[in-house]
Structure 1
Amino acid sequence: MFNPSRYRIIAVGKIRKSWIQTALNLYIKRLPGLLITEIKDSNINKEAQAIRSSLKQDELLIALSEEGESLTSIAFSNRLQKLGSQRIAFIIGGPDGLSPDIKSLAHYCFSISPMTFPHEIARFLLLEQIYRATTIANRGPYHRE
């Protein structure tokens, strides 16, 4: 069974569009305990430094990157299930993406889509997929094959 409190999203940049914040709030309510840490956007090196300093020692890093592995929702759920009770920090970069050193720290990188999205929408898509992965693992009715 999934426990959203073991997940944290570290995201570069603030949510500026109210309609995206409304959508995010819906999924945050559905995933009690999941935390989101916002990093101020600046340049890729300063963002990397802020990400590194925000990481906790017991967190496994999963980076979102357009070069990352593409996963189906079921494969994503299975991947998270295999990590067991490990604490996970998902990292979403800013407009310039993530620095190579942050990507090299990651346990693995995955891509939400071969398309490029603004970081605000990437955050929404990640939350939705974490929720979907949770319902798949718990055999809930949300996901339909």
Structure 2
Amino acid sequence: MNPGRLRVIAVGKVRKRWVSEGVALYLKRLPGLQVLELKDSNPATEAQAVLAALRPAERLVALSEEGEHLGSVALAGRLESFGSERLAFVIGGADGLDSVLKKRAHWLLSLSPLTFPHELARLLLVEQLYRSQSILQEGPYHRG
């Protein structure tokens, strides 16, 4: 898994310092992974901003509670199956993702059956991306 082919597009700013510090820690461990913050508004406006931010070769992965539930090992395998394709993981704002994005998504992914604040979802996602890399490289981080 090459973190340089992954990007996180997140609606809203991280306001909690401990979340920012956690995200920063995993971004240091995943050189090349980019996080793009978009201004929060309403789901329809946010969807247009996300679509405008997508790069031509990126596949959209929308984080949604209706998405596929995977364990960490299965997530690592799924990421590996994309090979060299570029993926853009989209985290919606406080009101979630507009249906336009969900329909456009190549893949709907759920981090949990629970609902999380968008800030926490960002931290969980970058941690799971790091865990996936560790699993694929057979590193010591994942002790599953």
What residue is the counterpart of 2:55 in the other structure?
A: 56
Structure 1 unmatched ranges of 5 or more: none
Cα deviation, residue 3, structure 1: 1.1
What residue is the counterpart of 2:121 in the other structure?
A: 122
Cα deviation, residue 44, structure 1: 0.7
What residue is the counterpart of 2:142 in the other structure?
A: 143
For residues 29 and 97 of structure 1, the distance between their equivalents in structure 2, rounded to whole angstroms, comes to 28
For residues 104 and 73 of structure 2, the distance between their equivalents in structure 1, rounded to whole angstroms, comes to 25
For residues 104 and 79 of structure 2, the distance between their equivalents in structure 1, rounded to whole angstroms, comes to 18
Which 4+ runs in 1 deviate beyond 2 A?
none
Structure 2 unmatched ranges of 5 or more: none
Residue 139 of structure 1 aligns to a residue whose secondary structure is coil
Residue 116 of structure 1 aligns to a residue whose secondary structure is coil
Residue 28 of structure 2 aligns to a residue whose secondary structure is helix
What residue is the counterpart of 2:46 in the other structure?
A: 47
For residues 66 and 42 of structure 2, the distance between their equivalents in structure 1, rounded to whole angstroms, comes to 20
Number of residue pairs the alignment of both structures matches: 144
Cα deviation, residue 30, structure 1: 0.3
RMSD: 0.6
Taking structure 2 as the reference length, what is the TM-score of the superposition? 0.99
